[in-house]
Structure 1
Amino acid sequence: MSLTTQFYTMIAMIGMGGVFGAALDTYHRFLKRPDRSRWIVFIHDVLFWVVQGLLIFYVLYVVNFGEVRFYIFLALFCGFSAYQALFKSYYVKMLEFTIKLVIAVYRFCRKMFQTLIIAPIRWIITVIIVVVIGLAKFIYRLMYGLLKLLIAVSKILLSPLSLLIKIIWKLIPKAIKKHLIIYYHKLAGVFEKSKNTMIKVINRWKRKK
């Protein structure tokens, strides 16, 4: 390995040590260990260390084709220590600011979405429902009024016919009236039997179905 490659490797590993420190602080900020179960924390820890190891090895492979030397670990430790001593406080502040900024932007976008899209849709749906209910009530009242008017007109038109039937009924001899009443009861009995038969047939069909 040439001196130039060794120099690049040292610089890259120092940088990766700093990146690892920043990633570790970011990981702890979002993980919130006290609020998580132990097995979840364990799985996240394993995944974090695997990802960091793969990332460091990838950078090492790009710089010197993956040759591992003792000074690489020293360079990583120096980069991590430099981050902890010089940049950690600034990075943590920047991270918190970024998180607050993202949350504020998200809340603003959500509020704008609710104001510009959700609220008009709700208003349109409410107006449609009110209009439909109003039309239904209007149609119901109109039909009810027409039905009452039709019944009143029918009573007026049929009253002379009813009066004529009563007069004719009074003029019919009693003997004929008795026969008519007997025929009426017979017809009523026939209709009642037919009705009962139809009901039985329908019930049997429903049971078979």
Structure 2
Amino acid sequence: MTLTTQFVTMLSMIGMGSLFGAMFDTYQRFLKRPKRKQWIVFFNDLLFWVIQALIIFYTLFLVNKGEIRFYIFLALICGFATYQSLFKGIYLRLLEWLIQTVIVIYRFIKKALRLLIFKPIVGLVQLLTVIIVALGRGLWALVQFVLRVLKFIVNTGLTILKKILWIFWRLLPKGLKKSVEKLYNRIAGNFKKITNFFTKWINKWKKRKE
């Protein structure tokens, strides 16, 4: 390994140590250990350390083909210590500012979508509902009005027909009246028998079903 390669390796590992410190603080900020279950924390910690080891080894592989020397660990510790003493406070403030900025942007987009998309759609649905209900009530009122008119016409027609039939009945001879009365009584009796038959049959069917 040449001197230049060793120097680049030292600088890279110092940078990786500082990057590790920043990523560790970021991980701690989002993990929220007191609110997590122990097995979740353990799994996340294991995954974090594996990812960090892979990143450091990949960087080392790019710089010196993956040769591990003792000073590499010293460079990592030096970079981590440099971050802790010089850059940690600045980075944490910057990280918090970025998080709050993202939250503000997210809330703004959420409110904008609610005002521009969600509320107009809800208002349109409510308007259509009101229109449909109003049309339904109007149609029902129209149907009721038509039925009342038809009922009035039918009642009026039946009243007139009754009067005409009554006058016609008065003008009929007595012999013909008796024949008509007998025919009417016979038809009424047969109709009553048929009605009684169907009523008994329906009652029997209901009892069998029960």
- When normalised by structure 1's length, the TM-score is 0.88
Root mean square deviation, CA, Å: 2.4
2:193 match = 189
1:19-168 matches, cutoff 5 A: 19-167=19-167
| Residue identity in the other structure for 2:26 | T
Gaps of 5+ in 2: none
Q: Call closer, same or farther: CA 1:192–1:165 in 2, change over 3 Å.
A: farther
Moved over 6 A (4+): 195-201
SS at match of 1:173: helix
User: Are 2:196 and 1:177 aligned?
Assistant: no
Between the aligned partners of 1:200 and 1:109, the Cα distance in structure 2 is 71
More divergent stretch after superposition (65-74 vs 187-196):
187-196
Between the aligned partners of 1:196 and 1:69, the Cα distance in structure 2 is 107
Q: Call closer, same or farther: CA 1:136–1:200 in 2, change over 3 Å.
A: farther
SS at match of 2:15: helix
Gaps of 5+ in 1: none
Between the aligned partners of 2:27 and 2:77, the Cα distance in structure 1 is 19
Q: Deviations over 1:41-83 (max 9, x none)?
A: 0000000000000010110111111111111000000000000
Between the aligned partners of 1:20 and 1:186, the Cα distance in structure 2 is 104
Q: Deviations over 1:101-143 (max 9, x none)?
A: 0000000000000011111111111111111100110111011
Between the aligned partners of 1:102 and 1:69, the Cα distance in structure 2 is 41
Between the aligned partners of 2:177 and 2:162, the Cα distance in structure 1 is 19
Q: Call closer, same or farther: CA 1:195–1:62 in 2, change over 3 Å.
A: farther
SS at match of 2:54: helix
- The structural deviation recorded for 1:179 is 4.2
Between the aligned partners of 1:69 and 1:46, the Cα distance in structure 2 is 25
Q: Call closer, same or farther: CA 1:187–1:102 in 2, change over 3 Å.
A: same
Q: Deviations over 1:9-47 (max 9, x none)?
A: 111100000000000000000000000000000000000
- The structural deviation recorded for 1:178 is 3.8
